[in-house]
């Protein structure tokens, strides 16, 4: 087994023993490294298989949320609580989602806590910041919202709340309410209603609340576990999630009186959020075209103060929405300025001298001569242009009634290029018929009468209707006193009649002393009166010492707006209305400025209240009797069941 050398030494045995020792050492080292790695790899494979977010094949889908194991979790409803980590142990693997938004603590903590998974992903741990100091004698509520779900199916743990008190008992009082938008009445999900022990005006900007509640999707909120006392109430659309009113665009709401919490009174409030008026800021001005300046603002500029250099220009101003438009006519080429005043500042906006190149006068809504524009038989005809109007020469305006009738074919000579037809528009049957010459798609007309016939080919025996223009009609023309770009045409319209308005070149002189260069030809057809309806409105239960601003709406469009003052009851009939779904908006116009005014927290001004009432749908030819009881408390005014009379 062993060989010997010349000296008789066991060389092979020594070498074999050394080799064996070396192999044993390598095996020992490899085992100490590879076996743990193999074990960890096997464990990872098993746990990874368990953590796959898909149901196991062959079994029913899991529809149940994780269950809290109270015996293993931090005890709930503790009193004399001292700051420590809170652990919630569940019976299956969980995941956490959107904890910053979903996990809400009331009263709010000064420092953001941590919420994380621990112990094999079945435990959620709430960790206070080490610098957090809990208030003495206060009941805290930690609401976990929708932050905890099971790992496989995403089933949410609902209504999970952890309560503790730093005092001897858990407070048990509560209050509730609803948060809506003052303009629309819509609920505002996630809006906060906050309570403060500090009544200073600045507290909403400098301190987190003592208690707060968050509105659900219906705008409802409840604040539980309150102590008795008087509190300041403030609602906030908290855009930066810091419980402070520090962004001007955040919607807010507040109570003027203290909120009293006790065990003998049920506290329920309704609060409406509004956005305070922001400063106008410097407008964005466009003045690259001669004769026209447009200024855009961040909000409607009803309180804007604007001056300008007087250098001999003629000026006209219109305000629409958040925009002010100026048209100017200046004979000399000069630079001049607008001056926009805001607080103690004055912004200078320069209008540079420009070449006198103006756009052509035209209607703001283009119409083809072939279009038949429907007319309301009860109302005048408005024509709005792109420039203000200075003068109108009515001698260059032709307004006529059109008579349209299908001619009767008397005889056809297919061997000839002529077709004779009877002019059925003439009452005198002895008058000779119109002779129409047929060409290959040419419109031709008889010279001795204003009549036209159209034909396509000599083989087509269909003759288009004959259009006969009547004499010029008398109509009243005037430039609108408010919108000087609008020309108003008034006439006693005849139902179902066709009219044509022809405005010849030079008839209209615009703001730049330029005439219309082209003929404007418009055709109209008057709708039947029975296609319209009437709403007979009666508004009741108003305060006779106040002023109101009424708006009759068709959808979102204002049909009519007007003021009602010093009346308990108001009646008016609105005729010539298109069929549709109408509503009445009533604004409690406290400052009597003919518009809705928002609130201001620092000035303790609440927004003007708004009440809306739906009116039964108006149908063609119907009269609707609508009685509206104005009610600002419930936002939606009560409308009595109307009676409808068909004409």
pLDDT of residue 636: 62
pLDDT of residue 619: 96
Encoded tokens for 491:
């006439």
Are 219 and 290 part of one and the same domain?
Answer: no
pLDDT in tens, 451-460: 444 444 444 4
What is the C-alpha separation between 620 and 138, in angstroms, rounded? 65
pLDDT of residue 638: 61
Say if residues 615 and 636 touch (Cβ distance below 8 Å): no
pLDDT of residue 565: 95
pLDDT in tens, 516-559: 999 999 999 999 999 999 999 999 999 999 999 999 999 999 99
Are 147 and 21 part of one and the same domain?
Answer: no
Burial label for 98, CB within 10 Å (0-12, 13-18, 19+), is exposed
Q: In this structure, is residue 136 part of a structural domain?
A: yes
Are 589 and 614 part of one and the same domain?
Answer: yes
Say if residues 485 and 388 touch (Cβ distance below 8 Å): yes
Are 547 and 466 part of one and the same domain?
Answer: no
Examine the pLDDT at 7 and tell me if it is beyond 50.
Answer: no
> Higher model confidence: residue 404 or residue 381?
381
Q: In this structure, is residue 559 part of a structural domain?
A: yes
Which of 207, 238, 273 is the C-terminal boundary of a domain? 273
Residue located via tokens 């087509």: 460
Are 462 and 551 part of one and the same domain?
Answer: no
Confidence of residue 265 (pLDDT cuts 50, 70, 90): confident
Q: Within 13 A of 357's CA, how many CA atoms are on the CB side?
A: 5
Residue 1: how many other CB atoms lie within 10 Å: 6
Name the least confident of 10-14, 322-326, 459-463, 628-632. Answer: 10-14
* CA neighbor of 134 nearest in space, from 107, 102, 159: 107
Give the DSSP per-residue string, 224-266.
Answer: EEEPSEEEEEEEE--TTSSSS---TTS-EEE-SSPEEEBTTB-
pLDDT of residue 279: 85
Alpha carbon 299 to chain centroid, angstroms: 14
CA dihedral 178, 182, 186, 189 (to 10 degrees): -50
pLDDT of residue 206: 94
What is the C-alpha separation between 387 and 44, in angstroms, rounded? 77
Domain encompassing residue 394: 372-526
Say if residues 435 and 409 touch (Cβ distance below 8 Å): no
Average pLDDT estimate for 324-353: 93
Which of 526, 546, 579 is the C-terminal boundary of a domain? 526
pLDDT of residue 58: 53
Confidence of residue 635 (pLDDT cuts 50, 70, 90): low
Farthest-apart Cα atoms in the chain, separation: 160
As a 3-state breakdown, the chain gives helix, strand, coil percent values, each rounded to 5, of: 10, 40, 50
Confidence of residue 408 (pLDDT cuts 50, 70, 90): low
Average pLDDT estimate for 401-427: 55
Q: In this structure, is residue 64 part of a structural domain?
A: no
> Higher model confidence: residue 247 or residue 25?
247
Examine the pLDDT at 79 and tell me if it is beyond 90.
Answer: yes
Say if residues 336 and 347 touch (Cβ distance below 8 Å): no
pLDDT in tens, 427-486: 444 444 444 444 443 333 333 344 444 444 444 445 567 788 899 999 999 999 999 999
Query: Residue 278 in 3-state DSSP?
Result: coil
Beta bridge partners of 143: 104, 161
Distances (CA, A) of 552 to 184, 271, 502, 567, 643: 16, 26, 34, 18, 19
Instruction: Tell me the percentage of the chain whose pLDDT exceeds 90.
Output: 69
Are 393 and 507 part of one and the same domain?
Answer: yes
Helix and strand numbers, DSSP H then E, in the chain: 3, 45
What is the C-alpha separation between 431 and 442, in angstroms, rounded? 25
Tell me if the bond preceding 107 is cis, omega within 30° of 0: yes
Name the least confident of 34-48, 145-159, 192-206, 327-341. Answer: 34-48
Confidence of residue 5 (pLDDT cuts 50, 70, 90): very low
What is the C-alpha separation between 435 and 448, in angstroms, rounded? 11
Give phi and psi for 25, each to the nearest 5. Answer: -65, -45
- Specify the CATH number for the domain of residue 120: 2.60.40
Are 462 and 520 part of one and the same domain?
Answer: yes
What is the C-alpha separation between 145 and 162, in angstroms, rounded? 11
pLDDT in tens, 366-381: 887 778 999 999 999 9
Are 521 and 536 part of one and the same domain?
Answer: no
Q: In this structure, is residue 47 part of a structural domain?
A: no
Beta bridge partners of 282: none
Say if residues 167 and 192 touch (Cβ distance below 8 Å): no
Are 411 and 513 part of one and the same domain?
Answer: yes
Q: In this structure, is residue 36 part of a structural domain?
A: no
Confidence of residue 119 (pLDDT cuts 50, 70, 90): confident
What is the C-alpha separation between 611 and 540, in angstroms, rounded? 13
What predicted TM-score, i.e. pTM, was given to this entire model? 0.72
């Amino acid at each position: 087994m062993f060989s010997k050398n010349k000296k008789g030494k066991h060389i092979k045995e020594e070498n074999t023993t050394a080799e064996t020792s070396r192999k044993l050492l390598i095996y020992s080292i490899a085992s100490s490294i590879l076996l743990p790695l193999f074990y960890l790899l096997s464990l990872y494979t098993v746990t990874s298989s368990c953590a796959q977010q898909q149901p196991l094949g062959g079994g029913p889908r899991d529809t149940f949320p994780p269950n809290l194991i109270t015996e293993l979790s931090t005890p709930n409803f503790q009193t004399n609580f001292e700051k420590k980590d809170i652990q919630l142990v569940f019976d299956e693997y969980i995941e956490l989602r959107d904890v910053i938004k979903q996990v809400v603590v009331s009263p709010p903590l000064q420092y953001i806590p941590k919420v994380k998974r621990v112990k094999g992903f079945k435990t959620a741990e709430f960790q206070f910041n080490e610098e957090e100091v809990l208030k003495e004698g206060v009941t805290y509520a930690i609401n976990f919202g929708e932050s905890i779900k099971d790992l496989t199916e995403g089933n949410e743990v609902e209504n999970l709340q952890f309560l503790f008190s730093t005092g001897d008992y858990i407070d048990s009082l509560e209050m509730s309410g609803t948060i809506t938008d003052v303009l629309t009445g819509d609920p505002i999900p996630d809006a906060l209603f906050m309570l403060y022990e500090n009544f200073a005006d600045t507290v909403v900007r400098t301190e987190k609340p003592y208690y707060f509640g968050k509105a659900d999707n219906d705008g409802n909120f409840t604040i539980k576990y309150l102590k008795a006392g008087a509190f300041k109430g403030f609602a906030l659309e908290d855009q930066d999630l810091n419980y402070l009113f520090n962004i001007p665009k955040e919607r807010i709401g507040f109570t003027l009186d203290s909120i009293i919490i006790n065990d003998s009174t049920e506290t329920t409030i309704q609060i409406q959020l509004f956005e305070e008026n922001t400063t106008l800021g410097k407008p964005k001005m466009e003045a690259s075209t001669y004769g026209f300046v447009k200024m855009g603002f961040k909000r409607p500029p009803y309180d804007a103060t604007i001056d300008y250099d007087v250098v001999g220009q003629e000026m006209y101003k219109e305000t629409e929405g958040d925009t002010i438009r100026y048209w100017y006519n200046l004979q000399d080429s000069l630079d001049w300025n607008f001056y926009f005043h805001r607080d103690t500042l004055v912004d200078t906006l320069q209008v540079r001298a420009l070449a006198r190149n103006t756009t052509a006068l035209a209607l703001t809504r283009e119409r083809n001569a072939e279009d038949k524009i429907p007319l309301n038989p009860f109302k005048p005809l408005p024509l709005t242009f792109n420039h203000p109007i200075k003068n109108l020469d009515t001698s260059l305006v032709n307004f006529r009634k059109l008579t349209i009738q299908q001619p009767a074919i008397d005889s056809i000579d297919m061997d000839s290029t002529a077709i004779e037809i009877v002019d059925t528009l003439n009452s005198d049957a002895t008058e000779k018929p119109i002779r129409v010459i047929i060409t290959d798609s040419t419109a031709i007309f008889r010279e001795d009468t204003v009549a036209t016939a159209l034909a396509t080919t000599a083989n087509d025996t269909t003759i288009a209707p004959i259009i006969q223009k009547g004499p010029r009609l008398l109509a009243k023309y005037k430039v609108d006193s408010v919108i000087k770009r609008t020309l108003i045409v008034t006439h006693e319209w005849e139902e179902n009649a066709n009219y044509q308005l022809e405005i010849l070149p030079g008839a209209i002189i615009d703001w730049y002393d330029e005439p219309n260069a082209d003929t404007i030809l418009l055709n109209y057809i008057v709708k039947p009166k029975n296609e319209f309806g009437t709403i007979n409105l009666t508004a009741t239960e108003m305060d006779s010492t106040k002023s109101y601003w009424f708006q009759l709406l068709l959808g979102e469009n204002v049909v009519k707006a007007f003021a009602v003052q010093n009346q308990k009851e108001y009646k008016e009939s609105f005729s010539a209305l298109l069929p549709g779904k109408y509503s009445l908006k009533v604004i409690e116009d406290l400052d009597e400025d003919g518009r809705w005014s928002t609130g201001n927290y620092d000035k303790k001004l609440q927004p003007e209240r708004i009440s809306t009432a739906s009116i039964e749908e108006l149908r063609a030819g119907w009269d609707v009797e609508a009685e509206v009881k104005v009610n600002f408390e419930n936002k939606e005014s009560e409308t009595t069941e109307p009676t409808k009379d068909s004409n």
